[in-house]
Amino acid sequence: MLIDTYGRVATDLRVSLTDRCNLRCTYCMPEEGLQWLAKPDLLTDDEIVRLVDIAVRMLGIEEVRFTGGEPLLRPGLVGIVERVAALRPRPQMSLTTNGIGLGRTATALKAAGLDRVNVSLDTLRPDVFKTLTRRDRHKDVLEGLRAAREAGLTPVKVNSVLMPGLNADEAPDLLAWAVEHDYELRFIEQMPLDAQHGWKREGMVTAGDILASLRTRFELTPEGADARGSAPAERWLVNGGPHRVGVIASVTRPFCAACDRTRLTADGQIRTCLFATEETDLRAALRSDAPDEEIARIWRLAMWGKKAGAGLDDPSFVQPDRPMSAIGG
């Protein structure tokens, strides 16, 4: 079990498979990209599977989310999914992706055992997409979403970040589109995880702004805390249901008290929080032939020291040195 001093138990593992990405989203990284991790620093496929096995067999992990960077850029992704699906107990598996490569991989991922996907899409306007991501790939994301739905990687969740002056007015249109195509839309407040450290709390599009905008066209009925559980998104029924919309308000409505996550970076570091400034090295233990029991002990100790909250409301908050692309969403 991965328990901390506040009584929270981590049952959800986020695994970053690569720090690389084929987009350059303005809220994540600079246009020229970043200094990527050297290949020897990355966990191998065997090392990833071994760590996930330890997590589900010895530490109580029930859900595994593969992230990046962009996880579809990982050459061995389908094989990793297939091997994790064979673990006992078998964890639920999902993937967070920008969707560009889903058109050609969705069927194979479903056959390998992947349960569902989260796809990032911030706008319905191709010109705004190009401005936000610095790439002209909007239609590829839409094709990837269709492929995921047709392959049965459902529910297909769509993650959207709204930015002032770019797409802040699109919330109602995005929700209407998601309802039409049977996607579950989730808005995410912009978080201080950009490589340029340009995030400013002032002027950000907040959960309150998003809900006010949505209510100009839709009736929203809250599902409530019982339905939410430890999920990061507060959810509302749209016009009485069955469709839902979620808002992940990491900045203005933090949910740290219910957090059930542990995070593994692409280079084998344990992070207790997306906003953590400290990491615990598992790669060194792996490569020094430590037994599973020792790796589990290191992991437990790391999670025992998890802080009460992310500290975003603290004036002394220090943004993590690693951008989101390097630690997984």
Binding site: residue ranges?
Answer: 14, 21, 25, 27-28, 65, 69, 96, 120, 157, 191, 256, 259, 261-263, 273
Cα torsion 80, 81, 84, 85 to 10°: value is -150
Q: How are the residues of the chain apportioned to helix, strand and coil, as percentages rounded to the nearest 5?
A: 35, 15, 50
Rounded Cα distance, 267 and 35, in Å: 14
Binding site for [4Fe-4S] cluster: residue ranges?
Answer: 21, 25, 28, 256, 259, 273
If you write DSSP's letter for every residue of 27-81 in order, what string do you get? TTS-TT---PPPGGGSPPHHHHHHHHHHHHHHS---EEEEESS-GGG-TTHHHHH
- Cα dist from 4 to 14, 256, 305, whole Å: 17, 12, 6
- Cα dist from 310 to 6, 11, 85, 171, 313, whole Å: 14, 19, 32, 27, 8
Residue 102 CA neighbour count, 13 Å, CB half: 32
3-state SS class at 106: helix
Binding site for GTP: residue ranges?
Answer: 14, 65, 96, 157, 261-263
Binding site for S-adenosyl-L-methionine: residue ranges?
Answer: 27, 69, 120, 191
Cα torsion 69, 70, 76, 80 to 10°: value is 80
Q: Is the peptide bond before 91 cis (omega within 30 degrees of 0)?
A: no
